[in-house]
Amino acid sequence: MKKMMIGFIVGFALLLQAQVPAQHAIVLPTIDGKKLHIVGTQNGLKVLEYPGKVLFIEFWGTGCPPCRMSIPHYIQLQKKYKDKLAIVTVEVWGTPKEKLKTFVKREGINYDVASYGDGAYFVRYLTHRSGWEGSVPFLAIFDRNGDFVTMQVGLLNAKALDGLVAKLSSMPLKVEKKSPAQNTSSQPTPSENNTTKSPKK
């Protein structure tokens, strides 16, 4: 928990450095065909498909031992808090999509997974905001309002994560005041997802 608090202090300032404009959303395709729309805010980000949920964003690799150790914890958390928690992950070691699909099926992963080929734009965006330097597993946590809570590189204690989700999911949602222009606006326009070659391990 102490490490998580250190991550909060350092990461909070970094996450305020940049944001995707509210009228644009980053489109993150998952390996099972879903398209998630991610919007940056002043204090964090939101996934439009998961309003009011605690949000985990993880960068990981299929060949990373700590990443693989995290998977059973995330599976159990997603089952326990299925109506309160959304877990969105990007495999950043460049595992080919078909092999990634096989890995996800074999491990019984029940949360969102995107390949680096489809998620490179989002990875660059969050890297810019968080100062991520490439180590995995990397986890960023946001509360029900999309506000940044903490981030951590490395394996986190399962009980600590469970307790944090329980606490965050019980927090009230903010009531957002919309201007007349916002009330008449449509769904945020998806931005183009530029892709780059997968990073080296």
| 107-146 tens-digit pLDDT | 999 999 999 999 999 999 999 999 999 999 999 999 999 9
Q: Give ∠ CA 41-45-48 in degrees, rounded to 5.
A: 105
pLDDT at 174: 86
φ/ψ (deg, to 5) at 153:
-105, 130
- Residue 196: pLDDT over 50: no
- Residue 180: pLDDT over 90: no
- Residue 14: pLDDT over 90: no
| 19-67 tens-digit pLDDT | 665 557 999 999 999 999 999 999 999 999 999 999 999 999 999 999 9
Selection from 29, 6, 55 nearest residue 153 by Cα: 6
Residue 186 pLDDT level (bands cut at 50, 70, 90): very low
pLDDT at 20: 62
- Is beta strand 85-91 parallel, antiparallel or unpaired with respect to 112-115? parallel
Handedness of CA 78, 155, 59, 20 (dihedral sign): positive
pLDDT at 162: 97
- CB contact at 8 A, 22 and 188: yes
What are the tokens at 165? Answer: 């989700």
Question: What would the mean pLDDT of 95-114 be, rounded to a whole number?
Answer: 98
pLDDT at 53: 98
Q: In angstroms, what CA-CA distances link 76 with 35, 153, 170?
A: 24, 20, 19
From the options 3.40.30.10, 3.40.1800.10, 3.10.450.50, 3.40.50.150, give the CATH code of 8-173: 3.40.30.10
Q: What are the boundaries of each domain within the chain? A: 8-173
